């Protein structure tokens, strides 16, 4: 990249963005496509051909030889299958071709993607379909390039196999409901409502050379052993500290690559833990924001590799040190650019805002555990409730002013939404007051931060699509209730504000139990939550049980997000992933103990024995070394007993008679305990064995020292 180029000159250079579309498409097709991007719908076949051709020409101008449908299978990451543009004419000459059909649909060999038993593998009938609302982009490699087409992924019988399809459906439903509310409030100018999202990506960087020596990180994404260093994060000197040049170099390359892809990366900074960082984008339309976040993670890994870093997205790579999350900022905006979660500067706007707020409060009140479920996996279990991330109890934080306002409405002190009433309550300047006051509580899972919500329970490695789908679904559920109430109360009265206030009043009372302004990390809150009847699913298997409950199925089916079969298959996929992750952790730990930890202990034992013998030979007692030998012996005994238990657990989980639910149950309870037990012995060993013998890179090295 030349030094003199301006950001705006190359931003989005590698995406088929609006400008490219306008330049390369006929006016008619361009307008048709824009309409579909904004409101959804199907393309005419001729238009698809025209777009495919334009895309091909554009991609070839960037050196592309292949195209790929890019999709989000349920395992959580992304997948792609590349096809060449190459084809032959009738008289055998080579040419580059790409048809509308190829753009719109492709059929990857789908046999190995998780489907939760929905398809037999031999059928392998899955197809991907272009999602025109997310722009195609160029994936550059060393020598050539690939045109990448964001897609959904379905089975031939129409069942959902990915995370994007339910997201798109949920966006559609929530946006329609929100639009209905605008119309109810007399809005005649907005053409549509869009959901907006901004995921803040946290991550760790470690030197690749260390990574290569840590089989636990390679295979499970986290350290299964590792003694705490003398210095951890207690000084909090890393947070927002000056960024090391080597890291800044990496960040700059990441940002440049993101800008070329049209991804609006906004902030970069050091996070709380040593070697932990964050990248936050400027928010965008939600579907695009998700695709961009997935691309961001991919780009970070690639660029990290080129810089000699391994980028760790795991939720808890290091014990005893903060893990990583992905705060998901979420709001709604209409086509005129109004943020619908902005408290507004007139009573009417404020009441409309309170309707949206009531909508999501009703959703969380009834279906909060589904939000916990949307972020449930083995990695995130380490974070939630560990005093570094919100607990697994889903409550909402609204801030002093909104709480006051809702309490007053509930008490019946605001029955007419006039300027005077708001002034009396000192809330007439709601937007600015709210913005100034609401971002203080960092412990709440669902925090109102002035003009958006921040859902803080998403794990750093996760695709935010599931959390967003659930937020949209909960909002849709709540808005339906609000619309019904308002329509009922507005019969006979002209004033929509009055009718809405009546509805808000009911909701303010009904949803009291999920409003919590205090410290979510405190012990008291866990007790209080029990009193309030708010569930806390501490583990993934426990939380996933909600997936197939009758209420859940009804909700997902009512809004046509997922069917009963799809939910059941999703349950199996997630539980299976949990079990596999845990079994992998067991096996890796066992391997590390047998091939690294025990041999190191034995080597150390030999050194001590030699020393002790020498001392005895010199007529001394060698008592201290004898004690060290006894310590090593105790560790070996502990490991021996632990490994026996581990084998027994693995055998139990492996047995044919053990069903998936039971496996998950064993692993999440006794299994996790055992992992911790074994770890204690290993960490003792690490602190006792001399550096030259201990081959596994230590926390102190990975987190504080850089190799050059
Ligand atoms: P805060 O400091 O309150 O978290 P920031 O302005 O730093 O707020 O924003 C944090 C993240 O929230 C950014 O990624 C930003 O783009 C995103 N964000 C801001 N406004 C919205 C919105 N209306 N909808 C969705 N995300 C938003
Ligand atoms: Mg934030």
Given a cut of 50, is residue 121 above it in pLDDT? no
What is the rounded CA–CA span in Å between residue 325 and residue 605?
42
- CB-based contact 296:279 (threshold 8 Å): yes
Percent of the chain past pLDDT 90, that is, above it, reads: 76
- For the Cβ of 437 lying below 6 angstroms from any atom of ligand 1, the answer is no
Mean pLDDT of 293-302: 97
- For the Cβ of 542 lying below 6 angstroms from any atom of ligand 1, the answer is no
For 194-207, how does the pLDDT look when each residue is reduced to its tens digit (9 = 90+)?
999 999 999 999 99
| CA-nearest residue, atom 11 of ligand 1 | 198
Strand partners, 325: 459
User: For the CA atoms of 559, 563, 564, 570, what is the dihedral angle to 10 degrees?
Assistant: -110
Longest CA–CA separation in the chain, Å: 105
Given a cut of 50, is residue 433 above it in pLDDT? yes
Q: Which CATH number fits domain 201-220+235-324: 3.30.590.10, 3.60.10.10, 3.40.50.620, 2.40.30.110?
A: 3.30.590.10
- In this structure, which topology does domain 577-704 adopt according to CATH? 1.20.120
Kindly give the distance from the C-alpha atom of residue 449 to the centroid of ligand 2, in angstroms, as a whole number. Answer: 8
- For the Cβ of 200 lying below 6 angstroms from any atom of ligand 1, the answer is yes
88: helix, strand or coil: strand
- For the Cβ of 439 lying below 6 angstroms from any atom of ligand 1, the answer is yes
Boundaries of CATH 1.20.120.1560 in the chain? 577-704
Given a cut of 50, is residue 122 above it in pLDDT? no
Burial class (CB in 10 A: 0-12, 13-18, 19+), 652: middle
CB atoms < 10 A from the CB of 300, how many? 24
- CB-based contact 193:472 (threshold 8 Å): no
What is the rounded CA–CA span in Å between residue 273 and residue 323?
8
Q: Is the domain defined by 7-161 classed in CATH 3.10.20.70?
A: yes
Instruction: Name the strand (E) or helix (H) holding 50.
Output: helix 45-61
* Ligand 1 closest atom vs CA 200: 14
Which residue would you say has higher pLDDT here, 311 or 494?
311
- For the Cβ of 438 lying below 6 angstroms from any atom of ligand 1, the answer is no
User: For the CA atoms of 72, 74, 75, 78, what is the dihedral angle to 10 degrees?
Assistant: 0
| pLDDT in the model for residue 241 | 78
What is the rounded CA–CA span in Å between residue 425 and residue 410?
14
Residues composing the chain: 708
- For the Cβ of 210 lying below 6 angstroms from any atom of ligand 1, the answer is no
What is the rounded CA–CA span in Å between residue 685 and residue 698?
12
Lowest mean pLDDT among 63-77, 179-193, 548-562: 63-77
* Ligand 1 closest atom vs CA 341: 23
| pLDDT in the model for residue 323 | 95
Given a cut of 70, is residue 524 above it in pLDDT? yes
- Closest C-alpha to 317, from 394, 445, 210: 210
Beta-strand runs (E) in 35-78? 64-71
Q: Six-digit token pair at 74?
A: 């349920």
Which ligand is closest in space to the CA of residue 325?
Answer: 2
Confidence bin at 441 (pLDDT 50/70/90): confident
- Closest C-alpha to 149, from 88, 121, 114, 108: 108
Q: Six-digit token pair at 248?
A: 């800044």
Mean pLDDT of 9-20: 94
Confidence bin at 708 (pLDDT 50/70/90): low
pTM above 0.85, yes or no: yes
- For the Cβ of 332 lying below 6 angstroms from any atom of ligand 1, the answer is no
Given a cut of 60, is residue 488 above it in pLDDT? yes
pLDDT, mean over the chain: 91
- CB-based contact 268:277 (threshold 8 Å): yes
What is the rounded CA–CA span in Å between residue 4 and residue 10?
11
Say which residues have a Cβ less than 8 Å from residue 578's Cβ, sequence separation at least 6.
377, 378, 540, 541, 544, 664, 667, 668
- For the Cβ of 162 lying below 6 angstroms from any atom of ligand 1, the answer is no
What is the rounded CA–CA span in Å between residue 228 and residue 501?
55
What is the rounded CA–CA span in Å between residue 632 and residue 324?
35
- Closest C-alpha to 510, from 547, 535, 488, 481: 481
For 261-295, how does the pLDDT look when each residue is reduced to its tens digit (9 = 90+)?
999 999 998 888 889 999 999 999 999 999 999 99
Kindly give the distance from the C-alpha atom of residue 339 to the centroid of ligand 1, in angstroms, as a whole number. Answer: 12
Given a cut of 80, is residue 652 above it in pLDDT? yes
- Closest C-alpha to 18, from 285, 237, 280, 232: 285
Confidence bin at 112 (pLDDT 50/70/90): low
Query: Given the DSSP bridges, would you call strands 446-448 and 396-397 parallel, antiparallel or unpaired?
Result: parallel
| pLDDT in the model for residue 435 | 65
Given a cut of 80, is residue 439 above it in pLDDT? no
Alpha helices in 456-495 (DSSP H): 465-490
Boundaries of CATH 3.30.590.10 in the chain? 201-220+235-324
Strand partners, 105: 129
Instruction: Name the strand (E) or helix (H) holding 95.
Output: strand 94-96
| pLDDT in the model for residue 154 | 86
For 143-164, how does the pLDDT look when each residue is reduced to its tens digit (9 = 90+)?
899 999 999 988 877 888 899 9
| pLDDT in the model for residue 123 | 53
Boundaries of CATH 3.10.20.70 in the chain? 7-161
């Amino acid at each position: 990249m030349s030094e003199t180029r301006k950001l705006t000159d190359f931003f989005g250079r590698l995406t088929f963005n609006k400008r490219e579309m306008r330049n390369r498409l006929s006016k008619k097709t361009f307008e048709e496509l824009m309409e579909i991007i904004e409101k959804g719908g199907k393309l005419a076949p001729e238009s698809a051909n025209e777009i495919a051709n334009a895309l091909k020409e554009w991609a070839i101008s960037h050196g592309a030889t292949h195209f790929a449908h890019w999709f989000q299978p349920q395992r959580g990451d992304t997948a792609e299958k590349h096809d060449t543009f190459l084809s032959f004419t009738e008289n055998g000459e080579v040419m580059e071709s790409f048809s509308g059909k190829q753009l719109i649909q492709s059929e990857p060999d789908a046999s190995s993607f998780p489907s939760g038993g929905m398809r037999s593998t031999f059928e392998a009938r899955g197809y991907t379909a272009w999602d025109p609302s997310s722009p195609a982009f160029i994936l550059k490699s060393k020598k050539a390039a690939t045109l990448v087409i964001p897609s959904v992924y379905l089975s031939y019988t129409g069942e959902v196999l990915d995370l994007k399809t339910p997201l798109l459906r949920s966006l559609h439903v929530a946006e329609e409901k929100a639009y209905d509310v605008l119309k109810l409030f007399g809005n005649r100018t907005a053409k549509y409502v869009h959901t907006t999202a901004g995921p803040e990506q946290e991550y760790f960087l470690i030197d690749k050379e260390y990574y290569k020596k840590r089989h636990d990180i390679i295979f499970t994404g986290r350290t299964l052993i590792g003694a705490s260093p003398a210095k951890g994060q207690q000084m909090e000197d890393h947070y927002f500290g000056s960024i090391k040049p080597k890291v800044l170099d990496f960040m700059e390359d990441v940002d440049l690559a993101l800008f070329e892809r049209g991804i609006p990366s906004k902030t970069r900074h050091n996070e709380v833990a040593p070697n932990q960082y964050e990248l936050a984008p400027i928010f965008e339309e939600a579907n695009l924001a998700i695709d961009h976040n997935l691309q961001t993670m991919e780009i970070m890994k690639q660029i990290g590799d080129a810089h000699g870093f391994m980028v760790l997205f795991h939720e808890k790579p290091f014990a005893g040190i903060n893990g990583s999350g992905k705060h998901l900022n979420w709001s709604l905006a209409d086509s005129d650019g109004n943020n619908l979660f902005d408290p507004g500067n007139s009573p009417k706007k404020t009441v409309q805002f309170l309707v949206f707020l009531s909508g999501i409060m009703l959703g969380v009140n009834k279906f909060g555990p589904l939000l916990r479920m949307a972020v449930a996996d083995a990695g995130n279990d380490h974070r939630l409730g560990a005093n570094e991330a919100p607990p697994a109890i889903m409550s909402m934080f609204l801030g002093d002013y909104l709480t006051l306002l809702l309490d007053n409405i509930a008490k019946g002190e605001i029955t007419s939404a006039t300027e005077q009433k708001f002034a009396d309550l000192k809330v007439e300047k709601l937007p600015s007051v709210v913005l100034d006051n609401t971002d203080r509580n960092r412990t709440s899972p669902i925090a109102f931060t002035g003009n958006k919500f921040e859902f803080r329970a998403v794990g750093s490695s996760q695709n935010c699509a599931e959390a967003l789908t659930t937020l949209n679904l909960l909002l849709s559920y709540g808005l339906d209730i609000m619309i019904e109430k308002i329509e009922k109360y507005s019969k006979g009265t002209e004033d929509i504000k009055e009718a809405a206030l009546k509805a808000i009043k009911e909701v303010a009372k009904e949803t009291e139990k999920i409003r919590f302004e205090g410290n979510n990390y405190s012990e008291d809150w866990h007790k209080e939550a029990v009193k309030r009847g708010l569930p806390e699913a501490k583990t993934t298997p426990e939380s996933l049980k909600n997936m197939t409950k009758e209420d859940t199925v009804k909700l997902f089916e009512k809004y046509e997000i997922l069917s009963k079969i799809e939910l059941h298959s999703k349950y199996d996929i997630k539980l299976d992933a949990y079990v596999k992750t845990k079994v992998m952790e067991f096996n890796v730990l066992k391997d590390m103990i047998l091939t690294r930890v025990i041999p190191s202990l034995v080597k150390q034992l030999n050194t001590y024995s030699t020393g002790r013998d020498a001392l005895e030979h010199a007529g001394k007692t060698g008592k201290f070394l004898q004690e060290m030998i006894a310590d090593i012996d105790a560790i070996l005994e502990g490991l021996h007993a632990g490994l026996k238990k581990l084998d027994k657990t693995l055998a139990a989980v492996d047995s044919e008679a053990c069903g998936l639910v039971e496996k998950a149950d064993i692993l999440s309870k006794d299994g996790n305990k055992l992992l911790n037990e074994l770890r204690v012995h290993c960490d003792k060993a690490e602190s006792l064995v001399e550096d030259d013998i201990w081959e596994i890179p230590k926390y102190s090295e990975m987190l504080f020292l850089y190799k050059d």
